[in-house]
């Protein structure tokens, strides 16, 4: 009898490894009926994981740590594919200087999401008050409409991921300003994490371990079968081969294929969340991370996408 498992994604097009593995039949062959469910936003995903609506969710580290600091019974059990900070500031072409952000509406997936906190920090360092001089619009289910909203002038900028960055450049809807660390003094942190509730960890540790290992095996598969990955990416995002390849190449330096947590990066994230007041105190690693699910390292991933 198949074991049911619900895997959470914060937008319709995230948790790409789980989606690929489910379509390829990797989970079914191991007797796991995996469903990917979208729960928009990191804070919202943390709540869904704690309640049992989803068994594992992929979220950004900042909202995940904020949720743990607020008392949610969840723990980090692994790293998502984008372990590095795979976001880029994109803005309408009429935004040419930092001063131009003043009086504009900027966007984030949700209040408390990774893009929200980092964009606030970046604006502050360039003399823009994120509380008084811009308006934040929290997109939620509209996140996948971001280019449409930029083109219509409803929003002026956001920290975004691929393929929206490459599509915006290609269509002229937006310009890419760069990665957060190229724009401001912001820390390099463990970026995307897999979280599970303490209740689920205690109730079915073997199922959790099996799913995390299959996600890891899927990462190794796409690493070694990049043409299949690109074909899947094109279909998932409804983009052509050029955009798919450019998107993956842009994010490639931030990918990690083994599911291992970047411990120094997580420590920096703990420092950051306390500094900005998102946690009432500086949390310890053992309060947020369950190391039992950390896999042994394998060979290093290639440095770039093969031609």
Tally of CB atoms within 10 A around 186:
17
Element (H, E) at 196: strand 192-197
Do the domains 88-183 and 3-83+189-293 match in fold?
Answer: yes
| Range with the poorest average pLDDT among 31-35, 38-42, 54-58 | 38-42
Reference 191, options 272, 247, 132, 297; nearest CA is 272
pLDDT band, residue 277 (cuts 50/70/90): confident
Average the pLDDT over 61-72 and give the result.
Answer: 94
The single residue listed with the structure tokens 């500094």 is 275
Region of 59 on the Ramachandran plot (φ > 0 left; ψ -120 to 50 alpha; else beta): beta
As a CATH number, domain 88-183 is: 3.40.190.10
pTM of the model: 0.86
Identify the CA nearest to 76 among candidates 295, 287, 301, 297.
287
Which residues fall within 8 angstroms of residue 217, CB to CB, at 6 or more apart?
A: 21, 26
Mean pLDDT of all residues in 238-242: 94
CB 259 within 8 A of CB 216: yes
The residue ranges of every structural domain in the chain are 3-83+189-293, 88-183
The answer to whether 265 and 85 have CB atoms below 8 angstroms apart is: no
Torsion of CA 213, 217, 222, 228, to 10 degrees: -100
- Structure tokens given for 102: 């003043």
Percentage above 70 pLDDT, the chain: 96
Inter-residue long-range contacts of 265-272, CB under 8 Å, 24+ positions, other chains counted: 265/83, 265/188, 265/189, 265/190, 265/191, 266/61, 266/76, 266/189, 266/190, 268/187, 268/188, 268/189, 268/190, 269/61, 269/62, 269/65, 269/187, 269/189, 269/190, 270/65, 271/187, 272/62, 272/187, 272/189
Closest CA to 188 of 103, 282, 246, 263: 263
Reported as a single tens digit per residue, the pLDDT across 177-230 is 999 999 999 888 999 999 999 999 999 999 999 999 999 999 999 989 989 999
- Give the pLDDT band of residue 114 (cuts 50, 70, 90): confident
Closest CA to 38 of 9, 75, 65: 9
For residue range 74-110, list pLDDT tens digits in order: 999 999 999 988 899 999 999 999 999 999 999 998 8
β partners of residue 7: 36, 56
Residues paired with residue 194 on neighbouring β-strands, in sequence order: 58, 78
- Residue 6 tokens read as 């619900």
Tokens (6 digits) for 117: 């906190």
Q: How confident is the model at residue 306 (pLDDT cuts 50, 70, 90)?
A: very low
307 pLDDT higher than 50 = no
Mean pLDDT score of the chain, rounded to an integer?
A: 92
| Topology annotation, domain 3-83+189-293 | D-Maltodextrin-Binding Protein; domain 2 (3.40.190)
């Amino acid at each position: 009898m198949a074991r049911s498992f619900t895997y959470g994604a914060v937008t319709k097009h995230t948790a790409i490894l789980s989606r690929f593995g489910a379509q390829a039949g990797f989970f079914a062959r191991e007797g796991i009926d995996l469903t990917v469910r979208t729960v928009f936003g990191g804070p919202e995903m943390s709540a869904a994981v704690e309640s049992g609506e989803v068994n594992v969710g992929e979220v950004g580290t900042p909202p995940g740590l904020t949720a743990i600091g607020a008392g949610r019974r969840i723990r980090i059990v692994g790293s998502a594919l984008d372990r590095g900070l795979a976001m880029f500031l994109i803005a309408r072409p009429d935004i040419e200087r930092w001063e131009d952000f003043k009086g504009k509406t900027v966007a984030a997936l949700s209040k408390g999401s990774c893009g929200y906190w980092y964009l606030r920090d970046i604006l502050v360092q360039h003399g823009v008050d994120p509380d008084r001089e811009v308006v934040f619009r929290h997109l939620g289910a509209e996140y996948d409409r971001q280019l449409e909203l930029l083109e219509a002038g409803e929003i002026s900028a956001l920290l975004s991921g691929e393929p929206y960055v490459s599509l915006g450049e290609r269509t002229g809807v937006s310009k890419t300003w760069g990665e957060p660390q190229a724009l401001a003094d912001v820390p390099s942190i463990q970026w995307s994490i897999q979280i599970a509730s303490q209740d689920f960890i205690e109730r079915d540790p073997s199922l959790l371990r099996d799913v995390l290992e299959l996600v890891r095996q899927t990462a190794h598969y796409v690493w070694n079968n990049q043409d299949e990955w690109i074909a899947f990416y094109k279909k998932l995002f409804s983009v052509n081969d050029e955009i798919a390849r450019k998107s993956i190449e842009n994010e490639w330096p931030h990918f990690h294929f083994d599911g291992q947590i970047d411990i120094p990066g997580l420590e920096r994230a703990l420092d950051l969340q306390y500094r900005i007041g998102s946690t009432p105190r500086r949390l310890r690693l053992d309060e947020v991370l369950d190391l039992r699910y950390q896999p042994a390292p394998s060979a290093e991933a290639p440095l770039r996408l093969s031609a």
